[in-house]
Amino acid sequence: MLNKYTTLINIMWQRGLAYRFTIFAYRIGEIAEMLVLLLMWSAIFTGTSTIQGYTLNEMLTYILFGNLVNTITRNFAAAGIGRDIKDGRLSLFLLKPMKHVRYALASEIGRASLPFVLSLITQLLVVLLFHDKFLYNTDPVTLLVILGMILLAFLLEFELSYLAGLIAFWTDEVDGLYTTMERVKKFFSGGYFPLSLLPATFITVSFALPFAYSFFVPAQLYLKKIDLSMGLKGLGVQLLWIVVLAMIIRVVWKRGIRKYEGVGI
């Protein structure tokens, strides 16, 4: 039963190896963006020691740790699913003895594995560059909750991306929608700056949305800015979103498949 999924993961891992320079190039690009944020905050902190309760070291750790979590959890399922629907390749999956959503998830796990390893290496190099500023949290319970949060965030991000890909049943092209969604997500996840710099209502809303759990909340937990009970509550919110999104995916798939024209059959 599991064999077909592990085979898929393996295939995607092998495919990633074929494009290792591409993956590495993307990582370099990401580091450039992260570097801008790190240097930007370093410049802002030259005149002050704390900003909204953050010290410079906390802010830099927030960016470094949050980006690491984000690298693991994000995924690009939407583009592939959109193309499958548009080009009619989805027809192949309809004949296979596995659900398309499971196929896509296994593929995504395989695809994300290599970038994850490379990200970990490059991220650690950046941490080394800022080693005197990076704060370490070695509490095993906190790290365990963060690990759980990362796994659930991966699933959540996959569901959101999969859902965006399914829109191709109606529009053919999903890149624009997905790009927009990614940008909104980055903002609401606290990817540009900690959400706590914004009004309190904004944080309350963000905690109820699924986005903050792939950057802001794990980073806050790591920095001990929120306690474990909040972290556990966060896991509950994530689980709830996973169930809700799974239900929405089921409905959208059922409706979409009726619209599917199977181009090329």
Partner 1 sequence: MKKYTRIWIQLLKNSFSSTLSNRIDSASYFFGKLIRFGFFWLLIISIFNFTETFAGYSTYQVLFFFLTFNLIDILGQIFFRGIYLFSSDVRKGNFDFTLTKPVPALFLTMSRLIDLLDIIFILPIVGLLVYAGIQLPVTITIGAILVYLFLVLLATVLSFTFHVIIAAATIWSFENENFIWLYREAMTLGRLPPDIFPVLLQYILTYGIPIIVMIAYPVNALFGLLSVGDMLFAGVITLLFIAVSLVLWKIALRSYSSASS
Write out the residues near partner 1 by the rule CB under 8 A.
Answer: 21-22, 25-26, 28-30, 32-33, 35-36, 39-40, 42-44, 47-48, 51-52, 171-177, 179-180, 182-184, 186-187, 192-193, 197
Query: Smallest gap, in angstroms, from Cβ of residue 140 to partner 1?
Result: 35
Exposure of 26 in the CB half-sphere (CA atoms within 13 A):
12
Q: Which of 70, 81, 47 is nearest to 150 (CA)?
A: 70
Contact 223, 194 (CB under 8 A): no
Query: Smallest gap, in angstroms, from Cβ of residue 19 to partner 1?
Result: 8
Q: Which helix (H) or strand (E) holds 55?
A: strand 54-55
Choose between 39 and 244: whose C-beta lies nearer to partner 1. 39
Q: Which of 128, 127, 140, 92 is nearest to 265 (CA)?
A: 92
Choose between 133 and 186: whose C-beta lies nearer to partner 1. 186
Contact 165, 81 (CB under 8 A): yes
Query: Smallest gap, in angstroms, from Cβ of residue 22 to partner 1?
Result: 5
Q: Which of 45, 19, 42, 34 is nearest to 68 (CA)?
A: 34
Choose between 20 and 96: whose C-beta lies nearer to partner 1. 20
**Alpha helices of 167-225 — where are they, by DSSP H?**
168-171, 175-188, 200-208, 216-222
Query: Smallest gap, in angstroms, from Cβ of residue 168 to partner 1?
Result: 10
SS3 content of the chain, % helix, strand, coil (to 5): 80, 0, 20
Choose between 154 and 178: whose C-beta lies nearer to partner 1. 178
Q: Angle at the Cα of 175 (from 170 to 179), degrees rounded to 5?
A: 125
Residue 54's DSSP bridge partners are 51
Contact 12, 107 (CB under 8 A): yes
Choose between 55 and 142: whose C-beta lies nearer to partner 1. 55
Choose between 66 and 234: whose C-beta lies nearer to partner 1. 66
Choose between 13 and 24: whose C-beta lies nearer to partner 1. 24
Query: Smallest gap, in angstroms, from Cβ of residue 30 to partner 1?
Result: 7
Query: Smallest gap, in angstroms, from Cβ of residue 129 to partner 1?
Result: 10
Tokens of 225: 């800015």
Query: Smallest gap, in angstroms, from Cβ of residue 31 to partner 1?
Result: 9
